[in-house]
Amino acid sequence: MKSRRKFLKQLVGLSALSVTQSFGNILLPQPKTRLGVALVGLGYYSTDLLAPALKLTRHCSLAGIVTGTPAKAERWKAEHNLADKNIYNYENFGAIANNPDIDVVYIVLPPSLHAEYVIRAAATGKHVWCEKPMAMTVAECKQMIDACKRHNVTLSIGYRMHHEPNTRQIIQFRKELTYGSVVKVEAAAGYVDGRTDHWKQKKSMGGGSMYDMGVYPLNATRYSTGLEPIAVTARQSTTRPHIYKEVDETMQFELEFPNGITASCETSFGKNLNNLLVTTSKGWYTLAPFQSYSGINGVTSDGRKLNAVIPNQQARQMDDDALSIMNKTPLLVPGEEGLKDIRVVEAVYQSVVQKQRVTIKV
């Protein structure tokens, strides 16, 4: 019996050795350590911020572009050493599906085009990143989320502040009740825009301060409280009606949250605004600026400095999202987060039209 067992073991060993010798030279696919990103839309944000940031990332790289301007395509090809096969226009965009170099499609277009191109990107089977604001309507946001789920890809919204360390610190204050419970939030974001004929001044393209800068204070109230607003009262104004004929130059909005928590917010294309103050039951903490590309700085009521520095916010955002994809862990800012903001944005505009307080329906 023992000799029979010994014979069988030897036979199995020889078979395994034979298999190893026969197939040992076959290389099994290795998991990627970097994800290839294709930027869709080569305006200022892609050119001056995302492309340089991708050079600083550890877990992703610029792999392709989508542009409707041949001259831009040639310039980017030379500057970033891109292969011809990785350069697309808006007509052949769908061919990205067959390109193994590209893992993520990053939509960097005016808000009115976000829904269309996120849905098209999802259909290629690539993961999708989309700049803020997520879309023009709640209905569009839902369509984008559904498309990504249908094609089994992830959808992340480009709220870079969620990845920024000082912002993450105040979120932690809230979670741990470090300074007690939140009582009130004050947040404002804006800049003086001297342009007179930009897409941000056109309603059809998703212009207006509330869509562009307004989502910063709005989102800040939500991550500062950890709650969803239940009502809003908003007022729209302009000092340059000859420019802001179609969209809002300045928007002020008051938010009501559960438990009696309130938030006062402002956004504008006619004022320089950049501050966040959270008042709590046992003190306060503030960031000013709270949404700049660098130099986020703040202090707490007991003198604690909030001045952590990272080399590049966009690089941190993209690395975090790439790691979530590779490790199959939850995204910091999934599509559902963008939808929640747009639900409030819709209510803000409704309040302006109706000139009254509007209940926000979930």
Question: Which two tokens mark 90?
Answer: 């808006």
DSSP H helices, the chain, are 2-23, 44, 51-54, 70-80, 114-123, 138-150, 165-176, 209-212, 215-225, 313-327, 335-354
The string of DSSP letters for 264-332 reads: EEEEESEEEEEEEEEEETTEEEEESSSSSSS---EEETT--EE----S-HHHHHHHHHHHHHHHT---S
274 and 189 in contact (C-beta within 8 Å)? yes
Measured CA angle at 151 (ends 145, 153), to 5 deg: 70
Helices then strands (H, E): number in the chain?
A: 11, 15
Q: Which of 126, 132, 184, 340 is catalytic?
A: 132
216 catalytically annotated: yes
Question: Which two tokens mark 215?
Answer: 């989502």
Q: Which of 142, 115, 158, 184 is nearest to 317 (CA)?
A: 158
Dihedral of alpha carbons 269, 273, 274, 279, sign: negative
132 catalytically annotated: yes
Q: Which of 216, 223, 244, 285 is catalytic?
A: 216
How far apart are the C-alpha atoms of 200 and 133, rounded to whole Å?
12
162 and 168 in contact (C-beta within 8 Å)? yes
54 and 27 in contact (C-beta within 8 Å)? no
Helix (H, G, I), strand (E, B) or coil at 66: strand
Annotated catalytic residues are 132, 216
